[in-house]
Amino acid sequence: MENQVLTPHVYWAQRHRELYLRVELSDVQNPAISITENVLHFKALTNLRKGYLFMYNLVQFLGFSWIFVNLTVRFCILGKESFYDTFHTVADMMYFCQMLAVVETINAAIGVTTSPVLPSLIQLLGRNFILFIIFGTMEEMQNKAVVFFVFYLWSAIEIFRYSFYMLTCIDMDWKVLTWLRYTLWIPLYPLGCLAEAVSVIQSIPIFNETGRFSFTLPYPVKIKVRFSFFLQIYLIMIFLGLYINFRHLYKQRRRRYGQKKKKIH
């Protein structure tokens, strides 16, 4: 979640060789002011918006941390047996976190943050489709091991992302956490998408057998449209969404760390 850039009112006056500037701001904390050549840079966040974003990221961090720790502890105690009751153990918390994630997309859409809307929307819709449709409506899917891997990878990604943004709201920069936030997505996002794809593939025979969400077109066509047809299309969309989000995250990482300079021999 990137910080929103606002433009305040600036008043100026000139007297002989002196220039007076007054920036009209209220309720700001820790302003950063710098002058480079002929440009004045001023950066600050309002306490109200900063507090709101801090609380949102804190709640999400705690929720996904609970899921991650719960799954880790259960795996250490029960081993592979813990795979098969993951949904019934942590689904309620995952429902809560994913429904709350709607706020993140709304924040981007109305300008509370400068994060692009499309990557946020793709992740929101994609995860909620897997959670509410593939897992939530099919009891046959809820006992499969793939649920563990989907939930574990989602929570592993988010605990670093939300903790990073949470600390950013209080002007803390922990370099290790920053590196993890801008690096761990490289293996975790593809693995997460692969786990989602496996869950969709495993659900196709179940949807065909039960006929759930399938329908028949009205007369004179009378063709039965199976929901599995849409799932096959969705498999393509998973990897298309991965490409869009991967490109967005790569640009973020490049802006943060820059491109490595090539050695000149």
Catalytic residue set: 189, 196
Q: DSSP of 147-205, one letter per residue?
A: HHHHHHHHHHHHHHHHHHHHHHHTT---HHHHHHHTTTHHHHHHHHHHHHHHHHHHHHH
Let me know: does 155 contact 71? Beta carbons within 8 Å. yes
Burial annotation 80-100 (CB, 10 A radius, 16+ → b, else e): eebbeebbebbbebbeebbee
User: DSSP state, 113?
Assistant: B
Amino acid at 159: I
In 3D space, the residue among 201, 229, 71 whose CA is nearest the CA of residue 130 turns out to be 201
What's the rounded Cα separation, in Å, for the pair 134 and 4? 35
Q: What angle do CA 61, 255, 119 make, to 5 degrees?
A: 55
Q: Could you tell me the sign of the dihedral formed by the alpha carbons of 40, 248, 184, 57, in that order?
A: positive
Amino acid at 129: F
Residues 6+ apart with CB under 8 A from 209: none
Q: Could you tell me the sign of the dihedral formed by the alpha carbons of 162, 196, 189, 112, in that order?
A: negative
